[in-house]
A and B are shown apart, each in its own frame.
Chain A
Amino acid sequence: DTEVTQTPKHLVMGMTNKKSLKCEQHMGHRAMYWYKQKAKKPPELMFVYSYEKLSINESVPSRFSPECPNSSLLNLHLHALQPEDSALYLCASSQDTSARETQYFGPGTRLLVL
C-alpha cells in the first residue's frame, strides 16, 4: 500500500482563523514533507521531517507551523493566513531522506483564504 491520506480535501478560512491540515501514512516511512502548489505551477517544498524531527524549513512564514506527533502523522497548523496563501497543499512521504527514495504524494488539501 503506497497511500498517503490528507484531510480535509477542501478548506475555506478567513484571515483570522486557525485551522490545521492533517496527513497520514502507514508505510513505515520515516521522512514526511509539506509542499505548496499554486495553480499551473510545480510543487514547492515547504518542510521536511526526518524521524519526526524538522530537518528542512524552506524559509516558510511563521503563520505556517508544522508538527509531527509520531512517525505516521504530519500536521500543518495555519494561523493568520493571507489570500495569497490559497493553494493546493500536498503532503508526501518517503522511506527516508535519501535522494534516491521515491516520494509518495497525497491527494492534497485545496485551501482558500478569504
Chain B
Amino acid sequence: AQSVTQPDIHITVSEGASLELRCNYSYGATPYLFWYVQSPGQGLQLLLKYFSGDTLVQGIKGFEAEFKRSQSSFNLRKPSVHWSDAAEYFCAVGALTGGGNKLTFGTGTQLKVEL
C-alpha cells in the first residue's frame, strides 16, 4: 500500500526567505505525486503534479518540486515566500486501487510566514 510522510508538522519562515517542504513517499510502482495547498476553512488547490518526464516540475504561485526516485522524495520549494503563502500544504500520491483512483495524503505541513 502507498504512504506519504511529511516530516515537518510546522514550519515558520520570514517573508522573502526561501522555502522547502519535505515529502517522502512509499509506493511500489511509478508514483503519481501531487502537492496541494489549503487555506483555513477552504478546499484544496493543486500546486503541481508529477507523473513522468522532467523531474523538476513547475507549478502555480512560483512553486516547484523535484522528484528524486533514489530518495523517494518529492520536496516542494519556493525561492521567496510571500505572506499569502501561509497555509497547510499536503503532499499526496495517487494510486489505482480496486475501483478507482485513491489519493493518499501526508499529514500536512503548516506554514507560517513572519513579516
Contact = CB atoms under 8 A, between A and B. Distances in A.
B42 A108 contact: yes
B55 to A, nearest CB: 16
Contacts of B95: 99
B interface residue count range (under 10 / 10 to 19 / 20 to 34 / 35 or more)? 20 to 34
A105 B45 contact: yes
B101 A43 contact: no
Q: Main secondary structure on chain B at its contact with chain A?
A: strand
A21 B41 CA distance: 17
A43 B100 contact: no
Contacts of A98: 96, 101
A102 B45 contact: no
A90 interface: yes
Interface string B90-115: 10001111111111011110000000
Contacts of A31: 100-101
Interface string A44-66: 01001010000110000000000
Interface residues of A, number: 29
Contact of B96 (A41, A90, A97): A97
A97 B97 CA distance: 10
* Interface hub of B43, B90, B98, B101 (most chain A Cβ within 10 A): B101
Contacts of A101: 94, 101
A90 B97 contact: no
Interface of A: 4, 6, 31, 40-43, 45, 48, 50, 55-56, 88, 90, 92, 94, 97-108, 110
